[in-house]
Amino acid sequence: MPQTDGKSGAAKPAHDAVGHRARLRERLLGGGSEALADYEVLEYLLFAAFRQGDTKPIAKRLIKRFGSLSAVLNAEPGALAREKGMGEASAAALKAVALAARRMARNEVQAKPVLGSWQALLDYLTVDMAHLTVERVRVLYLNARNELIQDHHVGDGSIDEAAIHPREVIRRGLDLGATALILVHNHPSGNPEPSRADVQITARIAEAGRLLGIIVHDHVIVGRDGHTSLRAKGLI
């Protein structure tokens, strides 16, 4: 009987899949960061769920469906599992990789002065938020050495006073002993340009912070098309 991935029903093909896997492994280990195309990276990751057989068609189909390698890795597990040839085991294999990438990016930020590791922070936020399908608001609280005290998930939804209350943001900072903070949210549309509401809520939080000794260093907006810093744009 052909081997399959649980409920997916993906059967082992007749061609030399073992040799193909070995060749991919050699290229991966012997080459640089561009040794494999995006679909080949995904193909290799799926080896963990499909112990035998050809994963190339599934990899190409996933990238066509979701748009990119990073979009596949950040897709909802249920959406991945429902794709033809996939199942829970293969979806879990991809989500484990996405989780590892987030942990690696987060480790580059922790216990370091955030303002001196700005690119690492942007990389972490991009990995974690660029492909979200809902708008998410976070506040990064910093101590006097500009080290991260807490990465607080405020909530999901549009960034206005219905979702984020300036006094509550500052009160939490005081409770944590923070001296500064960075506001962060994403635009699911992909365009990171700030809206009027983004600028207004930032100004209110910055004013509340000035009164109580907490500096708003920046408000970073993350999108699939890049990021925007309100401070860099002169809006703080």
pTM of the model: 0.68
Does residue 140 sit in the same domain as residue 211? Answer: yes
Domain boundary among 70, 104, 138: 104
Does residue 51 sit in the same domain as residue 127? Answer: no
Answer yes or no: is 7 within a domain: no
Does residue 118 sit in the same domain as residue 99? Answer: no
Query: Considering only CA atoms, which of 139, 203, 204, 136 is closest in space to residue 173?
Result: 139
Question: Average pLDDT in the 69-81 region?
Answer: 86
Domain boundary among 104, 121, 153: 104
- The model's pLDDT over 170-195, given as tens digits with 9 standing for 90+, comes to 999 999 999 999 999 999 888 899 98
Domain with 218 in it:
113-229
Predicted confidence at residue 158, as pLDDT, reads 65
Yes or no: say if 224 and 130 are a contact pair by the CB < 8 Å rule: yes
Yes or no: say if 223 and 192 are a contact pair by the CB < 8 Å rule: yes
CA angle (160, 185, 75) in 5-degree steps: 125
Q: Which helix (H) or strand (E) holds 164?
A: none
| Number of domains the chain is built from | 2
Domain boundary among 104, 138, 161: 104
**Domain containing residue 177: CATH number:** 3.40.140.10
Query: Considering only CA atoms, which of 187, 190, 194, 189 is closest in space to residue 218?
Result: 194
- E strands, 91-233, are 136-142, 148-156, 180-186, 215-223, 226-229
- The model's pLDDT over 15-59, given as tens digits with 9 standing for 90+, comes to 576 778 888 888 888 877 677 888 888 888 888 888 777 889 999
Rg over alpha carbons for the chain, rounded to the nearest Å, is: 21
